[in-house]
Amino acid sequence: MKRCALVTGGSRGIGAAVAVKLAARGCDVAISYRTQRTAAEEVAAEVQRLGSRALILQADLADLGQARSLVHEAAEGLGALHILVNNAGYVQRVPWEELSLEDWDRMLRVGLTAPFVLARCAVPYMREGGFGRIVNISSLRALTGAAHGIHYATAKAGLLGFTKSLALAVAPYGITVNAVCPGFVATEINREALAARGDEIRAQIPLGRVASAEEIAAVVGFLCADEASYITGETVSANGGLRMD
């Protein structure tokens, strides 16, 4: 059966790599983006090169109405929806004393409330299709905290509780829900930090290097596969040994 996936924030970084990985595994993929249309088109072209269908959808997930519409547009455009990867998000580094309530609200809306809305809209399609995988992209900062990104770490930590709770709720339908906590990854979101203190960061990682987006996508691809059918409610840390639980 041809599986259909929605990857939010799929125009670049981890999201782009996940879209390509799922296509390589035979999935048709809907790619959501907020502003990077050209980048999304490039990812879609790679998905199509691999023999899968690609659908490009624009959405600002701070608008929950757009989040709802995104799921329905993906399911209608692809003809089904079996996989949801909640990847969209952003980093904002600011001391907590200077953090505005507006910035706090937007971060939690995009990073935590939108995944809830997306999942709630996606599950009926998964039940109808007889297969469901939800993967939430969290962060190492969910486990360690972040003094200069307290709202980011809070949203990512909330995703872990959401993952476990939703896994319990949808288990009777055979739908699995898992989270991935990447460490430092060589993507645009980390470019500034790696440029400023890359040697220091790599020295702290037992494997001695940062991850590629493709390495994180490989974890997501496995969790979306048939082989992962008995794994649910779990958090997979992919951080090169930087934190071991």
Asked if 51 and 101 touch (Cβ cutoff 8 Å), the reply is no
Q: Are 86 and 8 a contacting pair, CB within 8 Å?
A: yes
**In the structure encoding, which two tokens stand for residue 185, read together?**
């990854």
Q: Phi first, then psi: what are they for 170, rounded to 5°?
A: -105, 0
Within 10 angstroms of residue 174's Cβ, the number of other Cβ atoms is: 13
The reply to whether 230 belongs to the active site is no
**Distance in angstroms between the alpha carbons of the first and the last residue of the chain:** 37
Q: Which of 122, 144, 149 is CA-nearest to residue 133? A: 122
Active-site option among 125, 152, 173, 230 = 152
- From CA 31, how far away is CA 59, in angstroms rounded? 10
Among 161, 134, 216, which Cα is nearest to 183's? 216
Known catalytic residues are 152
